[in-house]
Amino acid sequence: MAKTNIYLNFQGNAEEAFNFYKSAFKTEFSAPIMHMKDAPPQPGSPALSEAEGKMVMHVALPILGGVNIMGTDMLESMGHKLRIGNNLTISLEPDTKEEADRLYKVLSQGGSENVAPHDEFWGYWGVCLDKFGIRWMFNIMK
């Protein structure tokens, strides 16, 4: 079943923030926190420092009414810099790749910072910043 999540970006303190949210909402993480060091190395990407390896790659926490907040730490070594405008993303989980592609095609028109949906080690993923400055993520888990 398709769903929508709110994705939050942090600059090194995602785990601290999500532990705070966990206590505030009195819920548990949907799965163990995945750290950067847990991901397989990506061809052409620089090696992670020990500190970067401890940063959060992905975390998910149910909050209210079936909504999840998810998050990650942005890595400055990969050119990521947290700023207002990229600190929050609406994460869509369509039922099919075709629906993800359709939504991406419509929402990315006239936008920027586009990465077309494609296969990643965890699933089918893409992102865009629409022409109104809203960031959309498309994700279908394997």
- Cα dihedral 61, 142, 139, 14 in deg (nearest 10): 40
CATH superfamily of 3-40+47-141: 2,3-Dihydroxybiphenyl 1,2-Dioxygenase, domain 1 (3.10.180.10)
- First-to-last CA distance in the chain? 14
The string of DSSP letters for 38-98 reads: GSPPPTTPPPPPHHHHTSEEEEEEE-STT-EEEEEEPPGGGT----TTTSEEEEEE-SSHH
Sheet architecture: strand order including 135-141 = 34-35, 56-62, 68-73, 3-10, 88-93, 135-141, 123-129, 112-119
HSE at residue 134, side-chain half, CA atoms within 13 A, is 9
For each of the chain's 142 residues, which pLDDT tens digit applies?
888 899 999 889 999 999 999 998 999 999 999 999 998 887 887 788 999 899 999 999 999 888 999 999 988 877 777 776 678 889 999 999 999 999 999 999 999 889 999 999 999 999 999 887 888 999 999 8
Q: What is the pLDDT of residue 43?
A: 82
- What pLDDT does residue 104 have? 95
Residue type, 12: G
Task: Give the C-alpha separation, 75 to 81, whole Å.
Answer: 7
How is residue 140 written in tokens? 């279908």
- What distance in Å separates the CA atoms of residue 136 and residue 109, rounded to the nearest whole number? 12
- Going from N- to C-terminal start, the domains of the chain cover 3-40+47-141
| The pLDDT of residue 14 | 93
